[in-house]
Amino acid sequence: QGISLARISLQRSYKHLNLLPDTKMDKQSFVFPLIFLLSCSGSFSFPTKKTLANLNKYEKHLVDPAALDAVDQHLKKANPALNSFRTSVLFYLYTKSSINSPYVLLNNNSTLLKSSGFDKSKKTYVVSHGFMDSVHSDITQSIKNALLTFNDVNVIGIDWSYYTKNILYSWVAGETPEVGNYVGRFVTFLVKQGLSPDNLHLIGHSLGAHVSGFAGKRFQEEYDLKLYRITCLDPAGPLFNYNKPTARLDRTDADVVDCILSTRYLYGHIKLIGTANFIVNGGTVVQPPCKWEDFRTAYFCSHVSVVKYFNSSCDDWNIFEAESCYDRNGVERNCNGARMGFPASRYPTFHEMHLEVNEDYPYAKEEW
């Protein structure tokens, strides 16, 4: 009984820990669908063979020539060692001891890494946000909080909002190879500093999932081996649905590529592109936590709901277990023990897994 009471108390405190993205729909949420549809209406080619052939040249384009000499005040406060730098992709390191005071890292700067509190012996999670978001958004922050609340790990939030704050979705989508390639160079740098590839886990929401995929591709080019795992949270579908594996996230980008799908055929990818694909509530309907939302925001809410499910799964008490599984030949298999989210592991015989969730936190149908 004492454990149960403590458990209830802990659950009530989750919102104070900011483990859940804010369920209130702000102005951005209302305009997102309209911006998205309008920005996709123009002609767009993504990406060309020339683009893919020149991935190794992208890093130089990530320097913003118009950047000011002075660093933003929040960067100065986070890292006093930085007097100035010019970059459009930033890496924020969070640890147990610095959960609310990140340290800004730079690619190929070992001095900053050594003084940052980064522990190369620990699991390292690299989190990438999506369209119209930033590292400071509820999505990235809630994932970071969930990981660090239940684990002593390194969490690195990627901020590529220099690109994602552009309202033209098609342009932002076209920048994902560049950004992903740069992130791939960054994780390669971490491995060169002593981090094991088996301790690298990339997590991406929407467009951020494809950034993670391109990062995995780049890492394979550098080391001829794969990262341990990429978790894709409703990977973006529009302008990626019919791309070849080289032009999007693919199951070959890491040893384990587990995808959680909540808005297939709308915001999410229509194909099953992971080694393990968890389809929540059919993947095409309004998700249970969003059913009371206005029709204008319900599907966007559903696109974000995968973050809530993943965050909840970081707590071992919450069990998201698949109800039916199919192999790549469409044959149904017994999938007892196939768990979605943080504890998801390798399912060599499973390709498509289905489960349902509840309307309210912790969303899982089962609890220990």
* Three-state secondary-structure class, residue 127: strand
Q: Mark whether 316 is an active-site residue.
A: no
* Residue 2 within a domain: no
Task: Give the C-alpha separation, 123 to 119, whole Å.
Answer: 9
Residue 8 in this model has a pLDDT that exceeds 80 = no
pLDDT in tens, 199-219: 999 999 999 999 999 999 999
pLDDT in tens, 306-342: 999 999 999 988 989 888 888 777 788 777 678 899 9
* Amino acid 19: pLDDT: 58
In this prediction, residues 23-52 reach a mean pLDDT of 44
* Amino acid 212: pLDDT: 98
Decide if 169 contacts 206 (C-beta within 8 A): no
Query: Sorting pLDDT into bands at 50, 70 and 90, what band is 22?
Result: low
Q: Mark whether 205 is an active-site residue.
A: no
* Residue 186 within a domain: yes
Higher pLDDT among residues 6 and 165, named by residue = 165
Residue 51 in this model has a pLDDT that exceeds 50 = no
Which range has the worst mean pLDDT, 85-89, 149-153, 213-217, 238-242?
A: 85-89
* Amino acid 329: pLDDT: 77
Structural domain for 303, as ranges: 26-367
* Residue 72 within a domain: yes
Query: Sorting pLDDT into bands at 50, 70 and 90, what band is 75?
Result: very low
Query: Sorting pLDDT into bands at 50, 70 and 90, what band is 344?
Result: confident
* Amino acid 298: pLDDT: 87
Q: Mark whether 206 is an active-site residue.
A: yes
* Residue 14 within a domain: no
* Residue 244 within a domain: yes
With 0-12 / 13-18 / 19 or more C-beta atoms within 10 angstroms meaning exposed / middle / buried, residue 327 is middle
Domain containing residue 93: CATH number? 3.40.50.1820
Residue 28 in this model has a pLDDT that exceeds 60 = no
For strands 324-326 and 332-333, give the pairing. Answer: antiparallel
Decide if 230 contacts 260 (C-beta within 8 A): no
Catalytic residue among 133, 138, 159, 234: 234
* Amino acid 133: pLDDT: 93
Question: Which of 215, 240, 235 has the alpha carbon at shortest distance from 227?
Answer: 215
Catalytic residue among 116, 206, 302, 312: 206
- Which tokens go with 295? 């029709």
In this prediction, residues 131-159 reach a mean pLDDT of 96
Catalytic residue among 129, 205, 303, 351: 303
* Amino acid 284: pLDDT: 78
**Average pLDDT score over the chain:** 80
* Residue 118 within a domain: yes
* Residue 5 within a domain: no
* Amino acid 260: pLDDT: 96
* Amino acid 37: pLDDT: 47
* Amino acid 368: pLDDT: 52
* Amino acid 87: pLDDT: 64
Q: Please provide the DSSP assignment of 218-283 as one string.
A: HHHHHHSS-EEEEEEES-B-TTTTT--GGGS--GGGEEEEEEEESSBTTTB-SS--SSEEEEETTT
* Residue 360 within a domain: yes
Exposure string of 160-172, with b = 16+ CB inside 10 Å and e = fewer, is bbbbbeebebbeb
pLDDT in tens, 95-104: 999 999 999 9
Q: Looking up tokens 């000011």, which residue turns up?
A: 68
As for how many domains the chain has, the answer is 1
Residue 62 in this model has a pLDDT that exceeds 80 = no
Question: Which of 231, 237, 366 has the alpha carbon at shortest distance from 310?
Answer: 231
Task: Give the C-alpha separation, 28 to 65, whole Å.
Answer: 28
Q: What is the pTM of this model?
A: 0.79
Decide if 19 contacts 142 (C-beta within 8 A): yes
